[in-house]
Structure formats: structure tokens, C-alpha cells
């Protein structure tokens, strides 16, 4: 499993916790695409773009994006063709985002959820599998919306 992860300044502290959690889960192939400090204000679309590109470039790679609410990251990532970014604040939603929506990017709000809940949200998403079947034609309709 490969994971590309990034945040903005608001999400940086949670990103550091999440990196440790991912390593604890045994994920060895992690690309931290920044930033490497929370000292400077940065723009979340820049980091959404980096992670989205990593996911598009490698179909085995999933993305995690963290900003204050998770909303700016999800709006930005979903502008990238081929990205299905799910903004989740609970483990049920993140699980279903993978099972039904084949979400390849997960967005979390650091000002909304604490580290413990964030870990559950991430684990539910990573442990779930896309169910295909009836969901596939819906994914194809999403792709048709991309033009």
C-alpha cells in the first residue's frame, strides 16, 4: 500500500500524528508531500494538487489530505480529473466512501476531529474495499461529468 499525504498549516500537527499512525499500521511506502512546518501559512490547493497528482500517477497510491475543515482540500482535489476525494468526519462515511465511491483520496479536518477519531476514519477507509458491481456504472457517470 502506498500513501501520499499532505496538509496545510492548519492540518500540519494532525498530519504528524497520522504519519506515525500509518507507520504503526505497517505502511512503509509513504510520501509526505509537505509542508514540513506549520510556521508558515500555505494554500491548501497547492498541496491538494501534489497529492492528487501522485494518486493519478500511480493507481496503487491513495491520498490523504488534511486542512482545518477538510473542505478546502476536498473541493480542490475533486477538481483533478480522476480524483474521487471524500471528506469524512466519521468512520462509517470513510468506509462507505471506499466501498461505494471508490474514493482514492480522503480529506480530514484537523479542527473538526482529534487524532484518535482521525485514526479510526483512516483505518476504516484503508481496510474497506471497493465493491464494484452496481457502483461501477455510477463511477463511470462521475467520470463522464469530468468531460
What is the binding site for ligand RB5 (CB under 6 A)? 8, 10, 44, 67-69, 71-72
Query: Minimal distance in Å, beta carbon 64 to ligand RB5?
Result: 15
Beta strands 105-109 and 29-32 are unpaired
Query: Which residue number, 61 or 68, has a Cβ lying nearer to ligand RB5?
Result: 68
Q: Which is nearer to ligand RB5, 63 or 72 (CB)?
A: 72
What is the nearest approach in angstroms of ligand RB5 to the Cβ of residue 123? 23
Q: Can you tell me the distance from the alpha carbon of 105 to that of 146, in angstroms, rounded to the nearest whole number?
A: 17
Kindly tell me which of 44 and 119 has the beta carbon lying closer to ligand RB5.
44
Catalytic residue numbers, as ranges: 67, 100
Amino acid at each position: 500500500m502506498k500513501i501520499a499525504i499532505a496538509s496545510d498549516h492548519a492540518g500540519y500537527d494532525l498530519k504528524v500524528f497520522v504519519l506515525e499512525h500509518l507507520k504503526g499500521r505497517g505502511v512503509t511506502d509513504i510520501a509526505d508531500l509537505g509542508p514540513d512546518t506549520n510556521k508558515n501559512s500555505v494554500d491548501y490547493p497547492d498541496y491538494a494538487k501534489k497529492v492528487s497528482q501522485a494518486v493519478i500517477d500511480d493507481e496503487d497510491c491513495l491520498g490523504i489530505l488534511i486542512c482545518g475543515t477538510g473542505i478546502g482540500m476536498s473541493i480542490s482535489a475533486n477538481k483533478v480529473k480522476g480524483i474521487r476525494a471524500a471528506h469524512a468526519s466519521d468512520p462509517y462515511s470513510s468506509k462507505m466512501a471506499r466501498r461505494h465511491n471508490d474514493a482514492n483520496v480522503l480529506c480530514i479536518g484537523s479542527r473538526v476531529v482529534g487524532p484518535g477519531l482521525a485514526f479510526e476514519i483512516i483505518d476504516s477507509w484503508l481496510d474497506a474495499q471497493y465493491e464494484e458491481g452496481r457502483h461501477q456504472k455510477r463511477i463511470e457517470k462521475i467520470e463522464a461529468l469530468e468531460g
